[in-house]
A and B are shown apart, each in its own frame.
Chain A
Amino acid sequence: MTAMSDNSIAPVRRWTGFGLLGKGLFIAYLALMLAWLLFPIILVLLASFQGKLEVTLSASDFGFEAYKSIPPAYWEAFWFTIRTALSATLLALLVAVPAAWGMVRGKLKGHRLLSNLVLIPDVVPQLILGIALLTVFIPLHLANSFAGVLLALTALSLSTGLRFTEALLTGLPDEYEQAANTLGANRLTTFRLITLPLIAPGLAIAALFIFMQNLVTFELLYFIAGPNASPVSVRLFSDIVDRGVLPYAVAMAGILIYVAIAFYTIVAIVLGPKYMAGSVMSRKG
């Protein structure tokens, strides 16, 4: 707003040739950056509808053959990913919410230590954690199993859950809980009736973020996945390495793009798009 009123007061700007050139260059830069950021989504979607590896712009090739030919193994991997991501999100919140509550309300001495401890799976490169987990999981028969993937994802999402819940509880004055306590409710009742409903909206957002993070995790799971437990990202990866780009794999990638778009739409509607700008949801290649 201030910038606009400034302009209205300021003397009319003279358009010099140099200024116009700079403006033009800047707009060209913006357009190029936009194209660069958009091209993977557009290319994958186009290729998924054309069912070929050569992307063309002729409208006659469009069809759903690639989507129809997605083999059952891919759908299995897709639902496996959804199942593990969902269970890991719930498990992580089940573990993180009491921990955050104890830390914030109990004013424990080891508060900082615990926050940093939980951060370790997030800070250590996923590649290394994956290798380490593989070593431990093989003798325990957890490698190549639902439980192993679930555990790995839970440990990874714990830090996000804890940070979210901690922030929520710190922002919540504890007078409400004290009032409930004074009126005779025990801890559990207080938590169930007072605290949980108050932080539930925030928890839902946290769950959404953790779920999405679990959905795209690749490097951690690559080492502990196997034929019995293959998330969709691992399945896509091993197929591209072994057999090259396949039309139905591109279609599956397209489906993942739809999931991401749906997720973005939900968050944008609920929180407003501004929320996404600062969020440091790490994306590890």
Chain B
Amino acid sequence: MTDLNPTEQGPGLRTLPPPVEAFADDEGRIIMQRRIRREKIFYRLCTLPAILVTFLVAIVPLGLLIFNSFRNQRTGVLSFEYYIATLGNAFFLRTLTSTIMMAFGVTVIAIFLALPLAYTLARRTLLRNFIMPVITIPRMLPFVVIGYAMILLLAPMTGVANKVLLGLGILSQPAFILFDWPGQAIAFSYSGIVIATAVLTGVLMSVDPQLEDASVSLGATRLRTFFVVTIPLAMPGIIAASALIFTSIVTSYAIPVMLNGRVPYMISLLVSANLLTLQQPHLAYAQAVIVSLLAIGVTAAAQYVLLRYGQGGRKQ
């Protein structure tokens, strides 16, 4: 079998039975090695287009962006001035803090709200098949569509929620919450709950129900089992989902612009304002680098925790 396989690597070839004649051994090996080398080059050539596309469309632009963030816009002198200016700017720091708080709060709320639903869906096949489209279809819509729905629901005069609440006499005047941070938080928590439910359902399905049954048979109640057995087993998924939601909120652009108040609440607004209207692209690059470091840092931290946590456990 292996004798015929030219893709086998060097160490595998040494196990070939020695040929009868000595000179054929040398020549055969040289031909074989040349063939293997040609095979390798062929395989490498196959991967070349992928590398090329990634380099041209991602690595080079990102590298230029990072390089430019260190370069003065007029003089071209390399320095940290934009980073220092950004991190010394109280307005930027305040917006960054509010962004992180928004992302953190929404993530926690989304996970808490979605966890029982995800658990129910994971254990009830019939219900899951019935509800799955409800979770999946919002994930396949551009976020703009969700923004339209938010406006239809919460707009001060025409929104459904305001009209219903006014009609019931709960509110005496329309609530102007849409075009400010509460409206953004509601929109984000919608997408957060959708992501959390979808990811957690998958994760909780992989938690063996027999472990829960064992816990119940040993005397624990269902509720206690859920907290002591199920949640720790599903922790890797919870961490992954949290990181996904957090980063998607920190770097989101559509909702902060659509539901913008008078004061920018999310960091992406500052970046795009510097880039598009204030004509300070290099400052915008520095801010973009800071934001992406935050997002990638959170993802990497989650990966690290997963790696440490999931030493024994299995993760898809």
Complex formed: what's the CA distance from A272 to B8 in Å? 39
- Chain B 11-41, CB-CB to A under 8 Å as 1, else 0, gives 0000000000000000000000000000110
Interface size on A, residues (CB 8 A): 94
- B145 with A236: CB separation less than 8 A: yes
Complex formed: what's the CA distance from A147 to B257 in Å? 27
- Chain B 191-203, CB-CB to A under 8 Å as 1, else 0, gives 1011101110111
B296 contacts partner chain A, Cβ-Cβ < 8 Å: yes
- B141 with A187: CB separation less than 8 A: no
Please report which residues of chain A, range 193-247, place their CB below 8 angstroms from some CB of chain B when the two chains form the complex. 212, 215-216, 218-219, 222, 232-233, 236-237, 240-241, 245
Complex formed: what's the CA distance from A241 to B258 in Å? 6
Interface residues of B toward A: which range?
A: 35 or more
- A135 with B149: CB separation less than 8 A: no
Q: Which of B72-80, B88-96, B113-121, B168-176 contacts A (4 or more CB under 8 A)?
A: B113-121
Please report which residues of chain A, range 245-285, place their CB below 8 angstroms from some CB of chain B when the two chains form the complex. 245, 249-250, 253, 256-257, 260-261, 263-264, 268, 273-274, 276-285
- Chain B 241-252, CB-CB to A under 8 Å as 1, else 0, gives 000100111111
A185 contacts partner chain B, Cβ-Cβ < 8 Å: no
- With contacts A36-B190, A40-B190 taken as known, whether A26 is within 8 angstroms of B46 at the C-beta atoms is no
Give A7 Cβ to nearest chain B Cβ, in Å.
12
Q: Contact partner of A44 among B145, B206, B292, CB < 8 A?
A: B145
Give B51 Cβ to nearest chain A Cβ, in Å.
7
Please indicate the chain B residues that have their CB under 8 angstroms from the CB of A105 in the complex: 7, 43
Residue of B nearest to A99 (CB): B50
Complex formed: what's the CA distance from A6 to B214 in Å? 12
Complex formed: what's the CA distance from A40 to B151 in Å? 10
- B54 with A257: CB separation less than 8 A: no
- B248 with A283: CB separation less than 8 A: yes
Please report which residues of chain B, range 125-147, place their CB below 8 angstroms from some CB of chain A when the two chains form the complex. 128-129, 131-147
B207 contacts partner chain A, Cβ-Cβ < 8 Å: no
Give B273 Cβ to nearest chain A Cβ, in Å.
12
Complex formed: what's the CA distance from A117 to B60 in Å? 12
Give B11 Cβ to nearest chain A Cβ, in Å.
12
- A222 with B253: CB separation less than 8 A: yes
- Chain A 123-136, CB-CB to B under 8 Å as 1, else 0, gives 11111110111111
- With contacts A237-B144, A253-B145, A268-B133 taken as known, whether A121 is within 8 angstroms of B58 at the C-beta atoms is yes
Give A278 Cβ to nearest chain B Cβ, in Å.
3
- A98 with B49: CB separation less than 8 A: yes
Residue of A nearest to B217 (CB): A6
Please indicate the chain B residues that have their CB under 8 angstroms from the CB of A260 in the complex: 137, 140-141
> Main secondary structure on chain A at its contact with chain B?
helix
A58 contacts partner chain B, Cβ-Cβ < 8 Å: no
B209 contacts partner chain A, Cβ-Cβ < 8 Å: yes
B285 contacts partner chain A, Cβ-Cβ < 8 Å: yes
Complex formed: what's the CA distance from A152 to B54 in Å? 10
- A281 with B43: CB separation less than 8 A: no
Please indicate the chain A residues that have their CB under 8 angstroms from the CB of B62 in the complex: 120, 124, 128-129, 132
Complex formed: what's the CA distance from A26 to B120 in Å? 10
Give A260 Cβ to nearest chain B Cβ, in Å.
4
Give B201 Cβ to nearest chain A Cβ, in Å.
5
Residue of A nearest to B140 (CB): A260
Please indicate the chain A residues that have their CB under 8 angstroms from the CB of B113 in the complex: 33
Q: Which of B152-160, B225-233, B304-312 contacts A (4 or more CB under 8 A)?
A: B152-160
Residue of B nearest to A232 (CB): B142
- Chain B 292-310, CB-CB to A under 8 Å as 1, else 0, gives 1001100100000000000
B288 contacts partner chain A, Cβ-Cβ < 8 Å: yes
- With contacts A6-B213, A125-B247 taken as known, whether A53 is within 8 angstroms of B252 at the C-beta atoms is no
Taking A102-B47, A162-B50, A277-B132 as known contacts, 15 extra A-B pairs with beta carbons closer than 8 A to each other, sorted by chain A number, are A37-B197, A38-B134, A43-B160, A53-B155, A99-B49, A102-B43, A117-B51, A132-B288, A219-B253, A237-B254, A245-B155, A249-B148, A263-B140, A274-B129, A284-B251
Can you name 18 A-B pairs with beta carbons within 8 Å?
A6-B213, A33-B113, A41-B149, A53-B158, A106-B46, A108-B40, A121-B54, A123-B296, A124-B292, A127-B291, A132-B62, A151-B56, A154-B57, A237-B257, A245-B155, A256-B142, A277-B201, A283-B248
Q: Top 4 A-B pairs ranked by shortest CB distance?
A: A106-B43, A278-B202, A40-B149, A102-B46
A contact set with B: CB distance below 8 Å: 2-3, 6, 26, 29-30, 33-34, 36-41, 43-44, 47, 53-55, 94-96, 98-99, 101-103, 105-108, 114, 117-118, 120-121, 123-129, 131-136, 151-152, 154-155, 158, 162, 178, 182, 187, 212, 215-216, 218-219, 222, 232-233, 236-237, 240-241, 245, 249-250, 253, 256-257, 260-261, 263-264, 268, 273-274, 276-285
